[in-house]
Structure 1
């Protein structure tokens, strides 16, 4: 039934409405199961007919990617709110389930950003918002890793820390202040994370961008994991523009300042 597949929506503040009703706040275990359901039954099954999405004749249909993203993000925010309502995050309580939840949300947002990169409506209306959401969630994940390491509790150390630290590098590598920020970012990382395959790959990509080695950049795309490739894809236009400027200068050194659009 529809009741069996319902997931609590985020409840925004409004006059006379209590945002968090204690009896409706889900337990940590329930929050993990909810995210399992979102990933396995919503994102992974987005091509199947779903009773939550209706056509013009009110018949169930398969959702569009835009609808899947909107549905997922609304419910993911609700999951985040329920964690915070129980004093998780922000220096409060910490659990492996909390960290894993944010990790899975980040992966989903990265993939949505890539899958919808050619959707004109999404690019115009939601691309910037999605980037902000992704940045904020990735920042939260990194803060949780820092907090977990400060506790010294082995059970709180995520086995995926290197993977997400690498995503941070791939996200920020085109920023104007990337070199300075990256140096500070790497200084605070533990040796095992820096030596990891994921972070070494991300730093290799970062180096190709700084060296304007566009040939190696696209070769590295072939070696990337799917999620890493999604993040590298977001920089394709700028890498190609830089490549064209380099090629233009090579063949026309006297006209090296030519503008390419």
Structure 2
């Protein structure tokens, strides 16, 4: 009798549209394309003259119809369209090929010293990484392949947010980069939480996620809820301290702690430094506001993690006087708020750029 009820329940579930797990698994498309760009797409883009110069066979770039290099061409991102079958196995790259593709894009294209301008390099790599992500979603890629791809993608997008900061919008859109970075980071952290490891890079990316999203209650809560053994690792402990300094509006402590960050961590943090340095000047403009008070420019430069000339320039931006004796004259009345978007953040990247020169970074 119990067996009859169980069978009846199973049949009722199927009638309600429930799909058995094995059947659902079998229905997921499995890619068979063994090249970075499907042969059909390469042929079509070659015929339509839509090859990127990074994908052309050397010596054919000036031809009326340049030839595509099967070893360099990479599948383009394409928006889902009505009537277009995005699940054709011959157009989908399996996880191993997707990993190979990401390695090529980041090591051979983004990491090349001969390809420029970097805005074009970024545009090409960004588009092709979106295509990789699209193939992953269609095939429901998971496990170590998914983690490895997302980790490399997040690193690239964080670096791009620093390197292309201040570029014209027609060349680089920070909002679009941020959207994709947050999506990939969220997916990666979800993989860490739901999939068995080992995940040797988890400390790095948990810390990067918090540094990039300083002041976010959700990001901080996520890190606080991590297992104690992971939460107490050096990178995450440092990120939590920096986040606390940011929330408490303690720019002196934040900038001092930031000196301990490596290059990529500094790239993740850099978008918060404009507000942090402004807060420091504002606090000091109130705390040292006096006709007879003078503050050494060199000391202020040390606090701001800038050289003397950039410090004097930043003071000028916010209406803080620097006299001929290289002394800062703070005045709360003279301090002026700069309109959002007018600060040229790229001019004050010295803290990060110096770390890029260090071998261990």
Q: TM-score range by the shorter chain?
A: 0.7 to 0.9
More helix by share: 1
Runs of 4+ aligned residues of structure 1 deviating over 4 Å after TM superposition are 253-259
User: Aligned with 1:238: secondary structure?
Assistant: helix
Residues of 2 paired with 1:249 and 1:122: CA distance?
Answer: 40
Contact kept? 1:11, 1:19, Cα under 8 Å: no
Of the three residues 178, 191, 202, the one matched with 1:161 is: 202
Tell me the equivalent position of 1:54: none
Contact kept? 1:10, 1:78, Cα under 8 Å: yes
Contact kept? 1:110, 1:134, Cα under 8 Å: yes
Residue-by-residue CA offset, 1:103-134 (whole Å, 9 max, x unaligned) = 110000000010011323368x6011111111
- The verdict on how the C-alpha distance between 1:122 and 1:145 changes in structure 2, with shifts beyond 3 A counting, is farther
Of the three residues 102, 110, 115, the one matched with 1:35 is: 102
Tell me the equivalent position of 2:164: 116
Residues of 2 paired with 1:183 and 1:226: CA distance?
Answer: 22
Higher relative contact order (CA 8 A, sep 6+): 1
Max radius of gyration: which structure? 2
Measure how far apart 1:16 and its partner are: 3.4
Tell me the equivalent position of 1:20: 87
Tell me the equivalent position of 2:72: 5
Measure how far apart 1:98 and its partner are: 0.7
- The verdict on how the C-alpha distance between 1:24 and 1:229 changes in structure 2, with shifts beyond 3 A counting, is same
Corresponding position: 1:144 with 2:183: no
Runs of 5+ consecutive residues of structure 1 not aligned to the other structure: 49-61, 89-93
Measure how far apart 1:140 and its partner are: 1.0
How many pairs align? 231
Alpha-carbon RMSD across the aligned residues, in angstroms, is: 2.3
Runs of 5+ consecutive residues of structure 2 not aligned to the other structure: 1-56, 58-68, 291-330, 339-361
Measure how far apart 1:145 and its partner are: 0.9
- The verdict on how the C-alpha distance between 1:19 and 1:168 changes in structure 2, with shifts beyond 3 A counting, is same
Contact kept? 2:76, 2:128, Cα under 8 Å: yes
Of the three residues 122, 127, 132, the one matched with 1:69 is: 122
